[in-house]
């Protein structure tokens, strides 16, 4: 059941593969926490918000389109949930 105050986030993963998903996160969640929950190390990606790279400590705003560009691949850093 979605949380009543959850923030909708549309996420696009870019790299060798391309994947998209819509997820709900708690208000106040940072991009760093969002990535780590998905076993993505923030140091291995660039996060774009409205066309600009954002620091990983930035809170995810409501109704956001996030683009995650993988800049390092391989090993543990390349893990993310498979569907």
* Cα distance between residue 29 and residue 9, in whole Å: 11
Confidence check: pLDDT of 2 > 80: no
Predicted confidence band of residue 79 (pLDDT cuts 50, 70, 90): low
The confidence band for 4, taking pLDDT boundaries of 50, 70 and 90, is low
Q: What is the DSSP letter of 22?
A: E
Helix (H) or strand (E) holding 37: helix 31-37
Greater model confidence, 1 or 74: 74
* pLDDT, tens digit (0-9, with 9 covering 90-100), for 26-73: 888 998 998 888 888 888 888 888 888 989 899 988 777 778 787 765
- Hey, what domains does the chain have and what are their CATH numbers? 7-78 (3.10.20.30)
Assess contact for 12 and 20: CB atoms under 8 A: yes
How many C-alpha atoms does 1 have within 13 Å on its Cβ side?
2
Would you say the pTM of this structure is higher than 0.85?
Answer: no
How far apart are alpha carbons 19 and 4 in whole angstroms?
26
């Amino acid at each position: 059941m979605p949380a009543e105050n959850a923030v909708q986030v549309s996420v696009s993963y870019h790299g060798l593969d391309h994947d998209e998903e819509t997820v709900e996160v708690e208000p106040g969640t940072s991009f760093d926490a969002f990535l780590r929950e998905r076993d993505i190390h923030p140091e291995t990606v660039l996060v774009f918000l409205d066309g600009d790279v954002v620091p990983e400590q930035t809170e995810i705003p409501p109704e956001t389109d996030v683009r995650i560009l993988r800049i390092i691949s391989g090993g543990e850093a390349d893990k993310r949930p498979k569907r």
